[in-house]
Chains A and B, each alone.
Chain A
Amino acid sequence: MIRPLLMVGLMIALPAAAMAADARRDTILADYAGQARKVDPAFTGFSAQRGESLFRAKWTGGDARTPSCTACHTDNPKTAGQNAKTGRPIEPVAVSVTPKRFTDMAEVEKQFGRDCKSVIGRECSPIEKGDYITFMAGQ
């Protein structure tokens, strides 16, 4: 008797938590979209495909230990990563596996700042950030 009730409770609670997280992620994406329109009036929307290219590209401008986002986050966003500089394990970055991903603007900004500098050797643009999150949200 308890068990079906628990199941029903979970069926309501889990999607509710995921929906709240999705709403926070959408707010962050809307913020980046606003910034993107300011730098590029022709901006029409984020692209998961461009986000994937950013994720997989090999760069030469950054730290030699991290030529790509995949150096720490691995080739597969759904698997756990490992920090190439410190060895520390990293939770999967795919939203389907880690639903709380990209839901705290301060956290997202801090990490884009560090990781883009480390990999590309410069800041990521608002378009690149939105593309990246859009790609991971579909993973």
Chain B
Amino acid sequence: MIMRIIFSLAAALLVATPALAGGNDWVPPVTDAVVQKECGACHMAFQPAFLPARSWDRMMNELDKHFDEDASLPADKAKIIRDYMTANAGDVVTKGRARKYMQWVNPGATPQRITANPDFERKHRFADKVWQDPKVVTKSNCPACHMGADRGLYDDD
């Protein structure tokens, strides 16, 4: 009898756990129109929660060498974007998945690639042919698979 209760409790937990974990796969969405437009012109406008504030600061300092692109912007727009990204950065808001991502960021480091975070890597171990799918193109193309990525929702895997 006791065994049976323990067994069904364990089963219930097993069923519930993915749902709980899934419920954590979100970050606050980007709400600033300039960020949405300017960052979103070339790639998804990534949510600021995936990097700490100092990383966004560095990124905005190096826009002319942005992952080997010249992504320079007029100063007024760059300032709006810098202010928004640093104010909503992962180490500032610590909401949803941001907490997990920030645990992996060394205090002295200013990472630039969200896809290099161990929490990202851990959840994205796929065969090469998945990454080579023509609609994926690159690891940073979140919306190719996560339909809600633009809204900060990543639990549809």
> Interface residues, chain A, CB within 8 Å of chain B?
63, 82-88, 106, 110-111, 113-114, 117-118
Q: Taking the nearest CB of chain B, how far is it from the CB of A98, in angstroms?
A: 14
Q: Is the contact region of chain B dominated by helix, strand, or loop, or is it mixed? A: loop
Chain B residues with CB below 8 A from A118, complex form: 69
**Chain A minimum-CB-distance residue to B144:** A87
Q: Does B61 contact A (CB under 8 A)?
A: no
> Interface residues, chain B, CB within 8 Å of chain A?
40-44, 68-71, 73-74, 135-138, 140-141, 144
Q: Do B138 and A86 touch across chains, with their CB atoms under 8 A apart?
A: yes
Q: Do A83 and B42 touch across chains, with their CB atoms under 8 A apart?
A: yes
**Chain B minimum-CB-distance residue to A110:** B73
How far apart sit A113 and B69, CA to CA, in the bound complex (Å)?
Answer: 11
Partner of A87 from B40, B41, B138 at Cβ < 8 Å: B138
Q: Do A86 and B141 touch across chains, with their CB atoms under 8 A apart?
A: yes
Q: Taking the nearest CB of chain A, how far is it from the CB of B132, in angstroms?
A: 12
Q: Do A86 and B70 touch across chains, with their CB atoms under 8 A apart?
A: no
**Chain B minimum-CB-distance residue to A117:** B70
Q: Do B137 and A82 touch across chains, with their CB atoms under 8 A apart?
A: yes
Q: Taking the nearest CB of chain A, how far is it from the CB of B46, in angstroms?
A: 11
How far apart sit A83 and B141, CA to CA, in the bound complex (Å)?
Answer: 10
Q: Do B70 and A114 touch across chains, with their CB atoms under 8 A apart?
A: yes
The 5 closest A-B pairs by CB, nearest first: A87-B137, A87-B141, A86-B43, A88-B43, A86-B42
Partner of A114 from B40, B69, B136, B137 at Cβ < 8 Å: B69
Q: Which of A86, A87, A110, A117 has the most CB of B within 10 A?
A: A87
Partner of B137 from A63, A86, A110 at Cβ < 8 Å: A86
Q: Taking the nearest CB of chain A, how far is it from the CB of B20, in angstroms?
A: 31
Chain B residues with CB below 8 A from A83, complex form: 42-43, 137
Q: List 8 A-B contacts (CB under 8 A).
A: A85-B137, A86-B44, A86-B137, A87-B43, A88-B42, A88-B141, A106-B74, A118-B69
Q: Do A85 and B138 touch across chains, with their CB atoms under 8 A apart?
A: yes
